[in-house]
Structure 1
């Protein structure tokens, strides 16, 4: 469901930074073992594992929706690099962001399948304006994510569709609650022209 189209030329360039649990906290949660596994975490599996509890939120607020119910679903997204939105020059990359979406009643977790510590995807997020619930342009942020990190978008957090930045497909397991009613499950805002996000590989 499209809510609004904005003039993206009014948004200043966004510089992507490396993802950490701390810098993503305003937008949701991160599963990142290299940041979260520490010596005092509790042992599990009879001493053969370390447990780090509650690293990312899982929230279902569909009881507040018109339908009042949903199912919890695992989906797979096989993502290809959006070459039509990317420009490269001497190792510096520019991505043109043309849409933000949100899920007003649920968190959404993207878990890359296949362990790698290479940077392989880009996340763009924004908070809602407190008066309009549309994306607040002053809060747009971008993060470079490694293949051994997952992100959980908080309930109602605006985000770009998943952006793979490797020249190969990346599969994500996606955990989300859905009612099957389009206007409850996903809301979108467009940017024409898009705004620019810069990153370096």
Structure 2
């Protein structure tokens, strides 16, 4: 049975999925020449991956567009993992009608725009209840949509993520130790390490700090610790069919959420060792005694069914 945590009444606006906005949670895989972020001001972009010519000059090859991390050496069982590739066929989610609610503001905006900017006066305002979050503490996880056009207006998917709270804050939320302890990494010190920490250093006039074994990993791919999700900083992004997404190891996220007319097939690439609590950890979000509804994402669509971006860079007028 998954652990649970009390959830405040909070409504989350939807943002445009861009590599810059998503960087602390993982990576966005997209063609940098045609991606939504290519239309944003330069200050809101990150440098594109290195590109080389391929296939006798008929293709452009972008290098290292995402990275896979295998941290199962930290898992309690020490059981080795292997790379796996699965398929998820995700059906559209049922949304509930919009209704006013007293909720605390999201850290990323709590906008409720009443004007209809699609010119037809037919904005549809609906709500998505977020009842569960999960994470894969020792592996990245890449979702690659299939058969969904970049400009498909009638079917899109949402990427909902949250940072990890410090372990001490998790104890305050639940009154008990963190539910999913991550073992402390004890690195054996070599003779070089011992001398490097000496004062003064025998090699230079300065001390040389020991380098973390994870320092070369992208920050989103490093171990996150045993903490619960930070619900006040939960974020929701809308993706197009031309975007794949990689969750960093240990990133709290909602199961993939499809909005629209039809299912989306996702090929999912990750590592796994077959130990349930090491491959996937879940937490149920239960509204606390003073909350009227818990964690909710506001989903506004125009007359064509396109999800509207209401917060962050490219908000309101972003065209996906």
Give TM-score scaled by structure 2 length: 0.58
SS in 2 for 1:55: coil
Q: CA RMSD in A?
A: 2.1
Superposed counterparts of 1:110-189, under 5 Å? 110-117=143-150, 118=152, 120-131=156-167, 132=170, 133-189=227-283
SS in 2 for 1:134: coil
Q: Hey, what does 1:58 align to over in structure 2? A: 68
Query: Within 1, Cα distance between the matches of 2:247 and 2:5?
Result: 22
Q: Hey, what does 1:76 align to over in structure 2? A: 87
Q: Is the 8 A contact 2:134 2:253 kept in 1?
A: yes
Shift of the alpha carbon at 1:50? 0.8
Which of 182, 189, 197 is residue 297 of structure 2 equivalent to?
197
SS in 2 for 1:63: helix
Shift of the alpha carbon at 1:11? 4.4
Q: Hey, what does 2:127 align to over in structure 1? A: 94
Shift of the alpha carbon at 1:175? 0.3
Give the count of matched residue pairs: 197
Q: Is the 8 A contact 1:29 1:152 kept in 2?
A: yes
Higher-Rg member (1/2): 2
TM-aligned CA distance change 1:182 to 1:108, over 3 Å: same
Shift of the alpha carbon at 1:88? 4.3
SS in 2 for 1:72: strand
Give the stretch that moved more between structures: 114-123 or 103-112.
114-123
SS in 2 for 1:22: helix
Shift of the alpha carbon at 1:51? 1.4
Q: Is the 8 A contact 1:28 1:57 kept in 2?
A: no
1:1-56, CA deviations, whole angstroms, 9 ceiling, x for partnerless residues? 62x31232x14211011111111111000112123897x83211221111111222
Q: Which runs of 5+ in 1 are unaligned?
A: none
Q: Hey, what does 1:6 align to over in structure 2? A: 5
